[in-house]
Structure 1
Amino acid sequence: MPSIPAGDPEWHPIAADWFESLIDSGQSHYYEASDWATAVYVAEAMSRNLKQGKFSAQLFQSVMSGMTELLTTEGARRRARVELERAGETEQSVDPAVALMDDYRKAAGGQ
């Protein structure tokens, strides 16, 4: 598992909260170092947009696109056919990595 970079203490509180939320989010279990680097970049862009006097719609769209790439919204996960389950939500006791790979195999037409 790659190390999780520290957030910037100068980030806008909303950007900092978003970045910190990734640590506890199920999809981040599969993040590689490059995904964490992308998350830092998205949080920085989000912070800059929130701190400037004039809100940039173009920068907002770029931030949302980065968030989608990181599967941070339910809609993005559904489009990617990734379903996260919290412990105790299923009757089965299946490792989340196994369940995710099972879903990928089924989506690819496997058994």
Structure 2
Amino acid sequence: MRGPVPKRSDQRRGHHKPEGPALVKAEAGKAPTIPRASGDWHPIAKRWFQSLKDSGQAQFYEQSDWLTAVYVAEAMSRNLGQGKFSAQLFQSVMSAMTDLLTTEGARRRARVELERDDAGEDPAEAARVTLMDAYRKAARSVACSDVRPLA
């Protein structure tokens, strides 16, 4: 999908259907074997690769996606390890990372939303957020009721 990053589904207004072609479904291959990170990779590449294993979008990865991730980590490692940083290689790595849905914007464009379980959230923080939302709603309703037509 081209253009600006779409809003999350809970932030969209209206009843517009998502644009794009109809969804095509196919049977997935056998469960993928997740490769190990190479000991030769740069520490940032190792952390990035590990983050893929821990990320929600990994549930959609097939074997070819994991091998693409290995290739991206290798390119990332080479770019970080050489004396001169290659902007062109960086752009290629970032493009491949987008294809692997490793950023929020890429996931929104692909219409994939990951939701975090709030079980580990601090209850006091959750209450504070809820309270602030209540204040905002109350302030909006007061502000709207104070508007009088010009006569």
TM range (shorter): 0.7 to 0.9
Q: CA deviation at 1:88?
A: 4.3
What residue is the counterpart of 1:106 in the other structure?
none
Distance 2:90 2:69 in 1: 15
What residue is the counterpart of 2:59 in the other structure?
29
What residue is the counterpart of 1:62 in the other structure?
92
Residues paired across the two proteins, number: 89
More relative contact order, 1 or 2 (CA 8 Å, 6+ apart): 2
1:51 is aligned, of 77, 81, 103, to: 81
RMSD between aligned alpha carbons? 1.1
Identity %: 75
TM, length-normalised to structure 1: 0.77
Unpaired segments of 5 or more residues in structure 2?
A: 1-30, 120-151
Q: CA deviation at 1:86?
A: 2.1
Unpaired segments of 5 or more residues in structure 1?
A: 90-111
| Moved >4 Å (runs of 4+) | none
TM, length-normalised to structure 2: 0.57
Greater helix content:
1
State yes or no: 1:4 paired with 2:37: no
Distance 1:88 1:15 in 2: 29
Q: CA deviation at 1:78?
A: 1.1
Distance 1:7 1:66 in 2: 17
Q: CA deviation at 1:81?
A: 1.3
